[in-house]
Amino acid sequence: MALRAAFSPAVLDAGGELITYCTIGGRAATAWFVLTQLLGRDRVRVYDGSWAEWGRTPGAPVTPLTGQARAAGPAPARSRGTVLRPDG
């Protein structure tokens, strides 16, 4: 129950693909483990290049999540490991 509270319903209950990332991959891998192995969320992947690589790639699309789709908690989602929705 406490683990479910760490993620918004938009993250847990959506049926689409979910890609986790963070600065260098550690928190993203932890989020993947919790979502897939402990909470049973399907279609979750880790972007192993993470923000360190993606942010240096000219023209790479970024879709910031706001409101309901952000991770719960007082810190901004990006600093805690963010969920990235792939374009298209």
CATH code for position 29: 3.40.250.10
Distance between CA 51 and CA 22 in Å, rounded? 6
Reported as a single tens digit per residue, the pLDDT across 32-62 is 999 999 999 999 999 888 778 887 888 888 7
Q: Clarify whether 76 is annotated catalytic.
A: no
Residue-range definition of the domain harbouring residue 36: 2-84
Residue 26 pLDDT exceeds 80: yes
Do residues 80 and 27 touch, judged by C-beta distance below 8 A? Answer: yes
State how far the Cα of 80 lies from the Cα of 30, in Å rounded to an integer. Answer: 11
Q: What is the pTM of this model?
A: 0.61
What residues form DSSP beta bridges with 44?
Answer: 18
CA distance 22 to 54: 10
- For 68-81, what is each residue's pLDDT tens digit? 444 443 333 333 44
Which of 8, 11, 21, 22 is catalytic? The answer is 22
Q: How many structural domains comprise the chain?
A: 1
